[in-house]
Chains A and B, each alone.
Chain A
Amino acid sequence: MQLLFYSSKNDSNENRLKAAIGSVSLGDAVEHFTSLAGLRDRLRSIVEPNSIMILAAVDRSELLKMQAFRDMLTEIFIILVLPDRHKSTIRLAHLLRPRFISQLGDDFNDLNQIVSKMISTSRGPRTSLKPPPPGSQPKETYA
C-alpha cells in the first residue's frame, strides 16, 4: 500500500493535511506531489494495490483538471479535499468516485480517522509493502 498526496498550495490547509496524514502509522513513505503534471507522471508507473490517494483541490478549476486523470485512478482509494460544498463542486467530486470527501478549512480529524481505518483494514489480494518504483521517488517523506 502506498499513500499519494496531491496539494499544490503550501498553506495552513496543507500543513494540517500533512499533520493528519503524518500521524497515521504507515510502513511506506508518503509521496507528495505539488503539480498535476508530476502526479500524472507518477501514475504512468505502477501504484501498489490498495493504495490511497489524497487529492486536495484549491478551487473548482483544479478539481476540473483532476477529471482528466479519472481513468488512471481505478483501483486506488481516492480521498478528496474540496474547496467548497456547492452542488456543482460535489457533482464534479463524485465523478472521481471518492471513498471520502473532506473540505479545505476542516481540521481533517475525520480524514485522519478514515485513512487510519483504510490502512488497518487494507483489502485486496495483495498488501505488499514496497518502495515506490525508480523514477518516482517521494518528494517528502513522513514515515
Chain B
Amino acid sequence: MENILIIHSDKESSERISQIVSALGYAPATAFSLTEGLRKARKEAYAVIFLEAQLPDGSGLDSIVKVKSSGHFPEVIIITGFGNPDEAEQAISNGAWDYLEKPVSPEIIKLHIAQILLYKSEKGITHTPQVLERKDIIGSSKRLDDSFELLSQAARSDVNILITGESGTGKELFAKAIHSNSRRAKGNFVIVDCTALPETLVESVLFGHVRGSFTGAYVSQDGLVKQADKGTLFLDEIGELPLAIQKTFLRVIQEHKFRPVGGSQEITSDFRLVGATNRSLDEMVKQGLFREDLLYRLRSLVIELPPLRECPEDIRELTLHYMGTLCRRFGLEPKGFSPEFWSTVSNYKWPGNVRELIQALEKALLAAKEEPILYPLHLPTYIRIQVARNGVERKPTILDIMETNPNDAKALPSLKEFHLAAVSLAEKQYLQNLMAAVAGNIDEACRISGLSRSRFYTLLRKHRLSTKLPPD
C-alpha cells in the first residue's frame, strides 16, 4: 500500500484530504508544520505529498526541492487557498507535480494520485537514491550530507541553483559536481568569475561580440553564455555582477536568448545556471545592489554549504584525503600523524575553511620534509598560537558574571559598565563575522562596514583580531 503525506496547517483541510486518500485505499499521514512534514518525509517513504503553499513555519513553495530530495523521491502537489499565477509558475519550476487551489474536489485528488502512481510504475522509479560522483567533496557530517542531498536533487533537475557559503567551503566543487552528475555532463562547465571581470568587459565576455563592434574587436567571438550551450554556466560571486548586466541577464535566464555586443540577431543558448556567492544577496537586494527578480529566479534551489567549524567531524577525513593527494603531488612518502597533530587540527576553527586546511597541510608537509610523522610543530605558527589561546581559560567578563548570577545584586555592574561590555562584545562579534565573510579582504570589509581604514585597524587592535591570518 502506498503512503501519502499531507502537510497542511489547517486540520479540517488535512482531515478532508486524508479521508479521500483513505477511501482510495492508500495510507494517509498528516503533518501540521513544515518542520514536522520534512521530518516525516525523511523518515518514511511517501509516493505523494500534498504540501500547503504557505505554512506557519515556512514556505511550502520554497521547500518543494527539499521535500522532493528527502530521500524517497515523492511527487509533490501544492495546495493553496489563494491561487496566484506567479506562485503556480514557481511551484512547477521547482518540480511540483501540480498546483491546486482549494477547494479541491475528491475527483481531482483521485486523478492526480492515480497519474503519479502510474508514472512511477512506468518509469520504474524506486526508492534507491542516485549514486553520485562526489570527487573531492570529502566528509560525512550531517551538515555536509544535507548539502549533498540537495546536490543530488539539483543534478536530477534543470532548475537554477544558488550555492551559498563562506570562502573556501567548496562552492565551485559543488557546482562542478552538479554539472558532472547532470544530463549536461557532456556539455561545457563554463566559469564566469564575476569578481575578475571589469565592468567594461562583462557584456562582451558574457554575450560575445561581432567584428568591428568596438575598438579591438578584430573578429566576431562567442561569449561564455554561448559556450555553455547544452552545459552549465557557473557564475562565481554572482553578487559582483554589475546592476546593468543583472537586468540583461534576467532576460537571458528567462528566455535563453541574447544579442552579442554589436549584433543585430538574437542567439539562443540552452544552458543551466548555477550561481555562487559568499554574500547575503537578500541584504544586497535591500541595499539596492542586487535585483530582487534575479534573486527570485536564481534561488529555485539553494544549497547552503556549511563552514568547516560546523562540521568538525569532517576534519580527519579531509586531512587524510588531502594529505594523500599532496604527498603524491610533492613526490613524498605518505606521512603518519601524532595524536597532538590531530588534537591541534581538530581544535582550530578554520575561518578559511577547507581551503585554509589544504594550505596548512601543504606547509606542514614541506616543514616535515622526510620526517615520517607529523606533529603540531609542522603546522603554521598562527594555527598553533590560536589553538593555544583557545585552550587558555579566559577571564570572565561582566556579561559572563551577570549570566551566571542574574539575580545577584552584588554581581550587577553599573548601567554604563554593562553598556560598554555589551557594545564591546557585539563589536568584536561583528568584526569577526565581517572578516570571515570577506575572507580577510580589508577593502571589502571597510566598504561593507562603512569604516575608514584607520578606524577599522584601530578596532581590530582593540579586540586583538588579525587583519589576516599571520604568516609563519
Query: Which A residues form the contact surface with B (CB < 8 A)?
Result: 43-46, 49, 71-72, 75, 77, 85, 90-91, 94, 97-100, 105-107, 109-110, 113-114, 116-118, 121-128, 130, 133
Contacts and interface: CB of A to CB of B under 8 A. Distances in A.
B114 interface: no
A114 B330 contact: no
Interface string B165-200: 001100010001000000000001111010111101
Nearest to A107: B216
A125 B168 contact: yes
A85 B221 contact: yes
A114 B358 CA distance: 26
B233 to A, nearest CB: 11
A90 B188 contact: yes
Chain B residues touching A, range? 35 or more
A90 to B, nearest CB: 6
A125 B439 contact: yes
A125 B366 contact: no
Contacts of B196: 77, 99-100, 114, 117-118, 121
Contact of B469 (A43, A109, A116, A126): A126
Contacts of A113: 198, 200-201
Contacts of A124: 167-168, 352, 355, 439-440
A125 B172 CA distance: 16
B363 interface: yes
B201 A123 contact: no
18 contacts: A46-B362, A71-B325, A75-B358, A90-B227, A91-B188, A94-B227, A97-B172, A97-B176, A98-B191, A105-B218, A110-B201, A114-B201, A122-B441, A123-B195, A123-B441, A124-B439, A125-B468, A125-B469
A39 B176 CA distance: 25
B227 A46 contact: no
A133 B197 CA distance: 30
B224 to A, nearest CB: 8
A106 B469 CA distance: 39
B137 to A, nearest CB: 13
Contacts of A109: 216
B8 to A, nearest CB: 45
A100 B329 contact: no
A116 B196 CA distance: 9
B362 A97 contact: no
A97 B180 CA distance: 13
A2 to B, nearest CB: 13
* A71, A117, A124: residue with the most chain B Cβ atoms closer than 10 Å: A124
Contacts of A99: 191, 193, 196
Contacts of A122: 441
A125 B221 contact: no
B355 A100 contact: no
A77 B196 CA distance: 10
Nearest to B471: A128
A116 B201 CA distance: 13
